[in-house]
Structure 1
Amino acid sequence: MASPKETTQRRAQRVRRQLKKVAGERPRLSVHRTSKHIYVQVIDDAKGHTLAAASTLEKDLKGSLKTGADTAAAAAVGKLIAERASKAGVKEVVFDRGPYIYHGRVKALAEAAREGGLSF
């Protein structure tokens, strides 16, 4: 029987495998969620470079947020990543939710990034 860690890794790989089929030249917007914080990166897989990144650990966000583990924090990170991605010249991405369900904090981050100007 597979361990929970193996199951999670398998689920994330399944999502990424499907993304690679539809991504084309678009970079990947990758989300990582923990019990206390949320992290997001815009990654160019062809070159292997991170184009933009944001998280709830940053000083400008940390002071204004009640906690890093709620939908308001995720929405703030989503707006910040959209702003940083547009500065890097990225307008279209593919959304990589990883092993997480598109619900709650992950959904709030995605909707805020869309409002900020990213299209996916």
Structure 2
Amino acid sequence: MEEMRLTAYESSKLYKEKVKKYNDKTLLKKDFQLGQQVLLFNSRLKLFPGKLKSKWYEPFTIKKVRQYVAVELCDPQSKDPDRTWVVNGQRLKQYHGGAMERLNTVLRLDPG
């Protein structure tokens, strides 16, 4: 019985290593620099799907690049230039310029 358990454990370990190698190959390496403009993926849009709505939200400026793909962003159109937040770099893509239409969705939940 002990031998079967050890064999299953080893098999599981090998499988996990293979899956990790495959997933690491599919991830894109993104290099961000200070002052670069990026678009932020709008994950909340999945709740209210629309064919013509952009899933990428306005250009933000990178204020600081941290370890482990964490990026500190600031909104250049904001009234408070010190207002920043940290996001995962996998949710960002490079902004190449051009006009962006800002999407505002308002939901009103009327009681009764």
TM-score, length-scaled by structure 2: 0.28
User: When you count strand as a share of all residues, which structure comes out higher?
Assistant: 2
TM-score, length-scaled by structure 1: 0.27
Relative contact order (alpha carbons < 8 A, sep ≥ 6): 1 or 2 greater?
Answer: 1
